[in-house]
């Protein structure tokens, strides 16, 4: 049995921020005055379920059959850390992953500010230094997202910014350059995170198992394609970008495909991409991925893309997460080298989030 790494970092845990939380109280006027009574009347027990987003109609927990935990407080997460044990968890929202589906430009900006203020005060501030969080950014307004990232890092102490992959916006568009420059200036990462919804343009399937299987990779690969061929990684060579909740074993196949396209058509259709896509993905480089513990080709994938760019994700308390079992699986997989295991369990996340290795 392989020996586990001395340090374990969760690169992608979640909050169930719609269960009985007070995010509405962190809204700024005029938005607070507009929705406070509606929030109380529509969802007195669910806190922020209304009026944040339109529901996508999916029963993700299959009633209570797949429910893993509330995950809506610092105490919930500190208790979970002990089960691993995990030294640090970097947390993302659940309901706010769907912020990219909103049409009203000002509303998601206001909502992201409220969530970020809430998560700073109620989760990071009460997490004993073990809980970190990424700021939610509204893709509907890239300039406002850049401003919010600066506030989130400088004032709220958050670890970087999250863009939801499921949205009409394409993140390679130059309108997002001010956001990427803000991340570079602050030396913090940008995470592109899937949500598995069809609201933002994904395919609408008849059952959730089809939606979840297809829309996660479709949204992530779409944004990865946009950012790569539009030259984001060329224009911002020190920008750290992570593509999360899609696994990692697709990366070698898709990067090879992108290389083929680049060499055939890049001179005409990707003039801002300064080198083949494979030159931006590898050991010590700045494109990162979340992974799944049960991906059969994980070892060969890391042989290709490097041992320090794919990070462990507990995904707790989401219905499909298997923490702490997934942590044990990574620790004990015989097909991983010690270097690969250490990269998965802490080095990739430390590099991506700029965490101390102490």
Q: How far lies 239's CA from each of 28, 186, 189, 280, in Å? A: 31, 10, 7, 11
Torsion of CA 332, 94, 44, 140, to 10 degrees: 170
Is residue 3 packed enough to be buried (19+ CB in 10 Å), middle (13-18) or exposed (0-12)?
exposed
Strand ordering across the sheet containing 161-164: 135-136, 161-164, 190-193, 241-244, 287-290, 310-311
Burial 186-211 (b: 16+ CB within 10 A, else e): bebbbbbbbbbbbbbbbeeeeebeeb
Q: What is the pLDDT at residue 22?
A: 80
Q: Compute CA 89 distance to the chain's CA centroid, rounded to the nearest angstrom.
A: 13
Between helix 177-186 and helix 142-154 the angle, nearest 10°, is 10
Handedness of CA 220, 346, 350, 275 (dihedral sign): negative
- For residues 180 and 142, what is the distance between their CA atoms, to the nearest angstrom? 10
Q: How far lies 138's CA from each of 1, 162, 224, 236, 336, in Å? A: 45, 9, 18, 21, 38
Write down the pTM of the prediction. 0.92
β-strand pairing of 161-164 with 241-244: unpaired
CB-based contacts of 160: which residues, under 8 Å, 6+ apart? 134, 135, 149, 153, 183, 188, 189, 190, 191, 240, 353
Is residue 234 packed enough to be buried (19+ CB in 10 Å), middle (13-18) or exposed (0-12)?
middle
Q: What is the pLDDT at residue 209?
A: 86
Q: What is the mean pLDDT of each run of 10 residues along the chain (358 residues)?
A: 69 85 84 70 46 59 71 92 96 92 86 96 97 97 98 98 94 98 98 79 78 89 97 98 97 98 98 98 98 96 98 91 94 96 98 88
β-strand pairing of 287-290 with 241-244: parallel
Q: What is the pLDDT at residue 45?
A: 43
- For residues 69 and 76, what is the distance between their CA atoms, to the nearest angstrom? 8
Torsion of CA 348, 225, 281, 250, to 10 degrees: 70
SS3 2: coil
Closest CA to 86 of 77, 94, 95: 77
Whose structure tokens read 């090879």? 256
């Amino acid at each position: 049995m392989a020996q586990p790494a001395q340090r374990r970092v969760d690169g992608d845990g979640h909050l169930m921020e719609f269960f009985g939380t007070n995010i509405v109280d962190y809204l700024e006027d005029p938005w607070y005055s507009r929705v406070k009574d509606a929030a109380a009347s529509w969802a007195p027990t669910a806190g922020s379920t209304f009026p944040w987003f339109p529901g996508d109609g999916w029963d993700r927990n299959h009633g209570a059959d797949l429910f893993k935990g509330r995950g809506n407080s610092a105490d919930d997460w500190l208790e979970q850390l002990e089960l691993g044990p995990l030294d640090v968890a970097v947390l993302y929202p659940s309901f706010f992953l769907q912020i990219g589906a909103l049409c009203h430009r000002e509303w998601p900006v206001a909502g992201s500010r409220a969530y970020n203020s809430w998560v700073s005060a109620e989760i990071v501030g009460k997490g004993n230094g073990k809980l970190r969080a990424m700021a939610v950014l509204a893709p509907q307004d890239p300039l406002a997202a850049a401003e919010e990232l600066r506030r989130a890092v400088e004032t709220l102490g958050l670890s970087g910014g999250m863009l939801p992959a499921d949205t009409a916006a394409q993140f390679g568009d130059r309108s997002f350059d001010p956001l990427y420059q803000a991340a570079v200036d602050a030396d913090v990462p940008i995470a592109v995170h899937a949500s598995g919804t069809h609201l933002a343009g994904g395919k609408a399937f008849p059952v959730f198992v089809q939606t979840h299987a297809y829309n996660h990779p479709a949204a992530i690969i779409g944004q990865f394609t946009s950012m790569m061929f539009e030259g984001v990684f060329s224009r911002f060579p020190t920008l750290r970008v992570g593509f999360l909740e899609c696994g990692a074993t697709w990366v070698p196949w898709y990067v090879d495909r992108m290389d083929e396209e680049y060499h055939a058509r890049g001179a005409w259709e990707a003039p801002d991409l300064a080198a083949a896509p494979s030159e931006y993905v590898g050991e010590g480089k700045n494109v990162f991925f979340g992974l799944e513990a049960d991906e059969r080709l994980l070892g060969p994938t890391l042989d290709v893309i490097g041992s320090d760019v794919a990070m462990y994700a507990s995904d707790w308390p989401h219905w499909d997460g298997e923490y702490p079992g997934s942590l044990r699986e990574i620790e004990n997989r015989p097909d991983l080298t010690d270097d690969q295991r250490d990269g998965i369990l802490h080095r990739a996340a430390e590099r991506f989030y700029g965490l101390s290795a102490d």
